Amino acid sequence: HIPGEKLSPTQPFPTKPLPYDLNGLTENDLIDFTPELRQQAIAALADWQIGPLYNPPLHRDNDLGKRGSFWCPGDGGGSNITGPAAADPETGIIYLTSQSACAAHTLVPGDEADLRYMTDNGTTTTGVTPARYANGAGGGAPRGPNGLPLMKPPYSRITAIDLNTGDHLWMIPIGETPDRIKNNPALAGIDIGNTGTGAQAPMMVTPSMLVYAGDGSDGTPFLFAIDKKTGRELARVQVPKQSRYGMMSYVHNGEQYIVLQTGSTLTAMSLHGPVEHYSGGH
C-alpha cells in the first residue's frame, strides 16, 4: 500500500502453539454484548483498515480512502515488559499474560515526520528521516461504543501452555471486571461475566501455585494465588499498591517474603502472621 513498495505474498505463521491473544482483527472479534453495541463498533472502525496479523500500513491520502491501519496487537497489546512470562521448569508449562489492545497508525512523508521533533528555534533534534514514509499522528484511535472497549473480553488474560506438547491448558481473565464497565448503563441487566481488567500482570511460579498481581473491580490491588494445573483461584490478599514488571521471593532469617515493584518503590511482604510492608526507593 506504500507507493514503490512490493508486499511479500506471505509471512511466517507459527501453527503451534495456537495464538493466545488477538492476531489481527475481524468483525467477529468486536464487542457483542448487544447487537446495537456490535453495530456501533463496526461503525467506529469504518474509516480504518482492519485485517490479519501483519496488516500492511497505510499512508495518508491512500487510494482506499481510509484514515490508516488498525493493528492488533498494537503497541501496548499482546505480551509486554509490564507482565513478563513465567515458566515452571519442572512441568514445562509457561504462563503468559497478555492484553487485547490494538493501535491505529497512519504513515506520512518522512520530511513531514521530522517536523514533529522541531524545536522552538526551528531545528530538528533527530536529523533527517531517510525513509520516504514514517509513522505519523493517526488522529486518535477509534473509540468503543458507550465508553466500552471495541473488542470482546477478556481484555487481559493469563494463558497456560504446555511447552512439551504445544497445547493450551487453560486461560483466565486477569483480575476482575472494572466497575466502570460492570456499571455501564449500556450493559444494564446483562451478565457479562469476568472481562478482566485490561491490564497485564506480573507473575511468579512456585512449586505449589502461580502467583500474580491484579486488581479487583474497584481498583483494589491484590495478590492472587492460582492453581497451576487448572487456573482456579485459591486465595487473594490485598497489597498496598498496584504492581508491574515482575516479582520475586526470598527467605531471610527463616521468614519467606514476596517482593513487588510498586511505583517507585519495592514492597516486601512476609508470608506468615500479619502482612508487613517494607518499602524503599529503587
Q: Is residue 175 part of a domain?
A: yes
E-assigned strands of the chain? 48-49, 68-71, 86-88, 93-99, 103-109, 133-136, 156-162, 167-173, 203-205, 210-215, 221-226, 233-238, 247-252, 255-262, 265-270, 277-281
Same domain, 113 and 169: yes
Query: Cα(174)–Cα(210) distance, rounded to whole angstroms?
Result: 13
Range of the structural domain that residue 165 is part of: 27-238
Query: Cα(124)–Cα(171) distance, rounded to whole angstroms?
Result: 47
Same domain, 144 and 228: yes
Share of the chain above pLDDT 70, in %: 87
Q: What is the pLDDT of residues 194-243, one digit of tens each?
A: 999 999 899 999 999 999 999 999 999 999 999 999 999 999 999 888 88
Element (H, E) at 37: helix 35-44
- With bands split at pLDDT 50, 70 and 90, how would you rate the model's confidence at 282? very low
Number of domains in the chain: 2
Answer yes or no: is pLDDT of 66 > 50.
yes
Beta strand 156-162 with 133-136 is: unpaired
Q: b or e along 68-96 (b: 16 or more beta carbons within 10 Å of the residue's beta carbon)?
A: bbbbbbbeebbbbebbbebebeeeebbbb
Predicted local distance difference test score (pLDDT) of residue 274: 45
Report for 3-12, 28-37, 46-55, 243-252: range of highest mean pLDDT: 28-37
Q: Is residue 274 part of a domain?
A: yes
Neighbours of 239 (CB within 10 A): 19
Half-sphere exposure of residue 109: CA atoms within 13 angstroms, side-chain side = 4
Mean pLDDT calculated for residue range 69-91: 90
Residue 41 in contact with residue 48, Cβ under 8 Å? Answer: no
Same domain, 219 and 120: yes
Same domain, 165 and 234: yes
Same domain, 200 and 170: yes
The answer to whether the predicted template modeling score (pTM) of the entire model surpasses 0.75 is: yes
- With bands split at pLDDT 50, 70 and 90, how would you rate the model's confidence at 187? very high
Same domain, 74 and 106: yes
Same domain, 77 and 111: yes
Answer yes or no: is pLDDT of 46 > 90.
yes
Arithmetic mean of pLDDT over the chain: 86
Mean pLDDT calculated for residue range 247-273: 85
Mean pLDDT calculated for residue range 168-197: 96
Q: What is the pLDDT of residues 109-133, one digit of tens each?
A: 777 666 555 555 666 555 566 677 7
Q: Is residue 6 part of a domain?
A: no
